[in-house]
């Protein structure tokens, strides 16, 4: 069968094809093995898959078999050349060992070639045999030089405090009592399941070896391997769950290979420390469940063919089969696992394609999804382009933008740039702004809707914007003006209003904004966010061009939603989830507009003036706004000339000039009285 076809066959059974190469005259098919199939980290596991797929018998290793498939015939018992004591059966459920008399030398060409093809470097015939068994059966093995083992004994125990070991790679490592070691009478000679020690390494002068073929607890091997920072082929197999039935098999195979290559032979029995033998797992596979899960029933003969091919033993019963799970399939624990085995060999593509019925009306989506979409629409309509920035930023940048509490750090961050969770969306947006400014973009308007993270308020949905350049794109018909505070205020107020909440604005301070150009926006007494002009110091820290005026705003969307939800019927202003919205009747009578210009102190907030006017005016005042503001030539120092337009309208009748004049007189009188205003 061509390699490509083989690759295809296996990839459609759960083994993604990583590549096909030729190495030393043979074709090598490289496959990705998923974490649940440690049995396929040995060629035999894959051979089993191929045999099942092609419905061919798998040739088994056995004692009587000819050379390529032979196993040594060894008795099981104590070996007088080395004593083996299993002290910790939790971390090592099974330990097999055998002694062999050997002549250490290079491996024969065929063995070396196979190792090369598998990506393993040949070292000497003994080590190579252990690696061959690893690749062939997926069973890690190790060889100790018997002469170097004090005792000679092998003790499988936890490391003691203060013990150290120099592993085969020459690195001296500190050991801790949670690590399992293979020790001789005096000291550790291998870190169990991970790597052997240098001291008892097999060399050309070795005459007798002790083969180790064991099974180690996956969790322990994983923890140890991570702790000492050593990832090995052996550890990879033990972590995923090696075959508890394989230790003696590995020894027998290794000894048979030893003989086959003329490198030596076993001496004495194989020691098998297996205090708590595990019976095979039994799983009930019910026929109707197969169809229930897959959408189609699979004929019995196919089910039996696939499962027995894969090594399962089946006994038919009334509902289906009692299935005995082979020890190498550590991933099979329950019925669904068996159904997957059947399905993947049957072929998912052969299953029908149906569509699930909808028997109930679909539920509404989370309202926040629609709210975010609405927010996005408003901002794009206002001319802002959406950015998406990282949720983690430099800790230093984060500190500049927190609401008081220190930023939440990332543990072992990937880099300094990603070392803390963002307490605000602004640092990321400003970085994007700077990125664009450095690429010839003069006018940039960006917004982002995302989460920010604070120790005080947790995870919050937020909208933030950054704006620099002109207030409108440059045009030949007139002069441009740069964006200013009132442009941003307009966007902030407009945004909140369109999201359903009318807001008011008050002066505030923020360390990253210019004092005197910073405001907080509130709705119904709840603070919703802040906006203003970026301070030059912050701008410089963000690598923005120094002459840029940058305006920013940040609104807490969760707070906005809370305010909206708290509003009563009829108070809602818009937004898809406001109920009981009432349409305001249109005015039926014409309005009267009057202008007034006053001279007042320039520190007097416009809101105060408007407040005084509203209080003094009758209810027919429907609008008051400034339309001109002037300081400078002809105006005394500390004063400002403010022109306001007042609009009066009654729902009952047309107002008379006299009434409106009377209202204006009261307004002017109030302004003069309260604010020392002088009418111009």
Partner 1 sequence: MIDAAELDRLRAEFADELAHVASNRDLQGLRDKYLSRKQGVIVGLLKNVATAPAAERPRLGSLANALKLEIEDKLTQRRAALDADRPSTGSVDVTLTVRPLALGYRHPLTIVREQVEAIFVRMGYQVIEGPEVEDEYHNFEALNIPAEHPARDMQDTLYLGTPLGSGTLLRTHTSGMQIRYMETHQPPVRIIAPGKAYRRDNLDPSHSPMFNQIEGLLVGEDITMADLKGTLVGFLRQLFSADTRVLFPPTFFPYTEPSADIFIGCLLCGGSGCPVCKRTGWLEVLGSGMVHPAVFEAVGYDPERYTGFAFGVGIERLALLMYGVDDIRAFYENDVRFLQQFPS
Question: One symbol per residue from 590 to 619: x for binding partner 1 (CB under 8 A), - otherwise; what is it?
Answer: ------------------------------
Q: In this structure, what token pair is assigned to residue 556?
A: 């807490």
484 binds partner 1, rule: CB under 8 A: no
- Cα separation, 93 vs 216, in Å, equals 6
Residue 155 DSSP SS3: strand
Closest CA to 495 of 678, 668, 388, 371: 371
Among left, alpha and beta (phi > 0; psi -120 to 50; other), residue 523 is: beta
In sequence order, the β-bridge partners of residue 96 are 213, 272
Among 57, 279, 356, 525, binds partner 1 (CB under 8 A): 356
How many Cβ atoms are within 10 Å of 195's Cβ, its own excluded? 22
Min. distance of Cβ 272 from partner 1 in angstroms? 27
How many Cβ atoms are within 10 Å of 395's Cβ, its own excluded? 19
Q: Which span (337-345, 534-542, 644-652, 665-673) binds partner 1, by CB under 8 A? A: 337-345
Specify the residue, 299 or 352, whose C-beta has the smaller distance to partner 1.
352
Q: In Å, what is the CA distance from 430 to each residue of 384, 395, 407, 440, 546?
A: 14, 15, 18, 16, 13
Min. distance of Cβ 428 from partner 1 in angstroms? 9
Min. distance of Cβ 340 from partner 1 in angstroms? 4
Among 351, 506, 540, 607, binds partner 1 (CB under 8 A): 351
Specify the residue, 7 or 122, whose C-beta has the smaller distance to partner 1.
7
End-to-end CA distance of the chain: 101
- Cα separation, 143 vs 180, in Å, equals 17
- Ranges within 33-92 binding partner 1 (CB under 8 A): 34-37
Min. distance of Cβ 88 from partner 1 in angstroms? 17
Residue 82 DSSP SS3: coil
Min. distance of Cβ 22 from partner 1 in angstroms? 17
Contacts of 539 (CB under 8 A, 6+ apart): 430, 546, 548, 550
315 binds partner 1, rule: CB under 8 A: no
Min. distance of Cβ 363 from partner 1 in angstroms? 5
339 binds partner 1, rule: CB under 8 A: yes
- Ranges within 206-225 binding partner 1 (CB under 8 A): 218-219, 222-223
Among 5, 349, 637, 652, binds partner 1 (CB under 8 A): 349
- Ranges within 424-463 binding partner 1 (CB under 8 A): 432, 435-436, 439, 441, 444-447, 450-451, 453, 455, 458-459
Among 315, 359, 525, 619, binds partner 1 (CB under 8 A): 359
233 binds partner 1, rule: CB under 8 A: no
Contacts of 507 (CB under 8 A, 6+ apart): 516, 518, 519, 520, 605
DSSP-derived secondary structure for 215-227: E--HHHHHHHHHH
Question: One symbol per residue from 1 to 20: x for binding partner 1 (CB under 8 A), - otherwise; what is it?
Answer: ----------xxxx-x----
HEC per residue, 3-14: HHHHHHHHHCCC
Specify the residue, 73 or 380, whose C-beta has the smaller distance to partner 1.
380
DSSP 384: -
Specify the residue, 125 or 232, whose C-beta has the smaller distance to partner 1.
232
Which burial class, exposed, middle or buried, applies to 29 when counting CB atoms under 10 A from its CB (0-12, 13-18, 19+)? Answer: middle
Specify the residue, 474 or 651, whose C-beta has the smaller distance to partner 1.
474
Min. distance of Cβ 412 from partner 1 in angstroms? 7
Q: In Å, what is the CA distance from 475 to each residue of 217, 436, 468, 478, 481?
A: 74, 21, 17, 6, 11
Min. distance of Cβ 40 from partner 1 in angstroms? 11
Closest CA to 534 of 452, 474, 444, 638: 444
Among 3, 43, 51, 293, binds partner 1 (CB under 8 A): 293
Number of residues that bind partner 1 (CB under 8 A): 92
Among 300, 337, 484, 558, binds partner 1 (CB under 8 A): 337
479 binds partner 1, rule: CB under 8 A: no
Q: Please, are residues 243 and 183 in contact by the beta-carbon 8 Å criterion?
A: no
109 binds partner 1, rule: CB under 8 A: no
- Ranges within 367-426 binding partner 1 (CB under 8 A): 368-369, 373, 376, 379-392, 408-415, 418, 421
Specify the residue, 451 or 666, whose C-beta has the smaller distance to partner 1.
451
Specify the residue, 67 or 351, whose C-beta has the smaller distance to partner 1.
351
Specify the residue, 136 or 431, whose C-beta has the smaller distance to partner 1.
431
């Amino acid at each position: 069968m061509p390699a490509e076809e083989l690759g295809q066959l296996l990839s459609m059974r759960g083994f993604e094809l990583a590549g096909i190469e030729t190495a030393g005259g043979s074709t090598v098919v490289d496959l990705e093995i998923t974490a649940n199939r440690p049995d396929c980290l040995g060629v035999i596991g894959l051979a089993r898959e191929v045999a099942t797929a092609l419905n061919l018998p798998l040739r088994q290793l056995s004692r009587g078999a000819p050379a390529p498939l032979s196993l040594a015939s060894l008795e099981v018992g104590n070996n007088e050349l080395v004593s083996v004591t299993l002290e910790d059966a939790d971390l090592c459920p099974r330990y097999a060992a055998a002694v062999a008399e050997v002549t250490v030398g290079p491996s024969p060409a065929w063995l070396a070639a196979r190792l090369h093809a598998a990506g393993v470097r040949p070292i000497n015939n003994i080590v190579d045999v252990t690696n061959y068994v690893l690749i062939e059966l997926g069973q890690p093995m190790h060889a100790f030089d018997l002469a170097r083992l004090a005792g000679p004994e092998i003790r499988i125990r936890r490391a003691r405090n203060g013990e150290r070991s120099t592993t085969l790679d020459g690195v001296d490592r500190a050991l801790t009592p949670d690590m399992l070691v293979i020790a001789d009478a005096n000291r550790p000679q291998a870190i169990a399941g991970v790597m052997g020690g240098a001291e008892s390494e097999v060399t050309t002068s070795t005459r007798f070896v002790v083969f180790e073929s064991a099974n180690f607890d996956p969790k322990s091997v994983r923890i140890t391997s991570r702790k000492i920072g050593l990832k090995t082929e052996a550890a990879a197999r033990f972590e995923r769950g090696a075959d508890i039935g394989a230790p003696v098999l590995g020894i027998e195979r290794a000894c048979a290979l030893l003989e086959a290559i003329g490198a030596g032979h076993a001496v004495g029995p194989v020691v098998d420390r297996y205090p708590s033998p595990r019976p095979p797992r039994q799983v009930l596979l019910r026929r109707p469940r197969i169809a229930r899960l897959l959408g189609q029933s699979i004929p019995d003969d196919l089910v039996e063919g696939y499962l027995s091919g894969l090594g399962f033993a089946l006994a038919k019963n009334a509902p289906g089969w009692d299935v005995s799970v082979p020890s190498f399939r550590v991933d099979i624990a329950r019925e669904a696992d068996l159904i997957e085995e059947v399905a993947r060999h049957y072929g998912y593509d052969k299953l029908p394609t149906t569509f699930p019925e909808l028997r109930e009306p679909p539920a509404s989506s989370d309202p926040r999804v629609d709210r975010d979409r609405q927010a996005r629409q408003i901002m794009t309509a206002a001319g802002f382009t959406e950015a998406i920035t990282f949720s983690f930023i430099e800790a230093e940048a984060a500190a500049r933008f927190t609401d008081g509490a220190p930023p939440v750090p990332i543990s072992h961050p990937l880099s300094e740039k990603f070392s803390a969770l963002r307490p605000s969306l602004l640092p990321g947006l400003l970085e994007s702004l700077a990125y664009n400014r450095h690429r010839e973009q003069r006018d940039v308007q960006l917004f982002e809707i995302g989460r920010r993270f604070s120790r005080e308020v947790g995870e919050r949905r937020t909208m933030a914007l950054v704006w620099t350049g002109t207030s409108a794109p440059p045009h030949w018909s007139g002069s441009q003006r740069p964006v200013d505070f009132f442009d941003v205020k307009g966007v902030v107020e407009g945004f909140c209003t369109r999201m359903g909440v009318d807001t008011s604005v008050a002066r505030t301070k923020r360390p990253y904004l210019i004092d005197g150009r910073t405001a907080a926006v509130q709705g119904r007494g709840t603070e919703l966010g802040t906006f203003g002009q970026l301070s030059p110091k912050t701008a410089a820290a963000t690598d923005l061009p120094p002459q840029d005026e940058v305006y920013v705003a940040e609104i807490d969307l969760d707070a906005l939603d809370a305010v909206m939800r708290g509003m009563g019927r009829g108070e809602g202003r818009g937004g898809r989830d406001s109920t009981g919205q009432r349409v305001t009747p249109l005015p039926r009578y014409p309005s009267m507009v009057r202008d007034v210009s006053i001279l007042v102190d320039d520190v007097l907030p416009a809101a105060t003036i408007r407040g005084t006017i509203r209080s003094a005016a009758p209810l027919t005042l429907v609008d008051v706004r400034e339309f001109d503001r002037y300081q400078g030539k002809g105006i005394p120092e500390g004063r400002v000339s403010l022109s306001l337009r007042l609009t009066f309208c009654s729902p009952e009748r047309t107002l008379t000039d006299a009434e409106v004049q009377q209202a204006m007189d009261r307004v002017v009188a109030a302004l003069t009285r309260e604010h020392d205003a002088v009418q111009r």
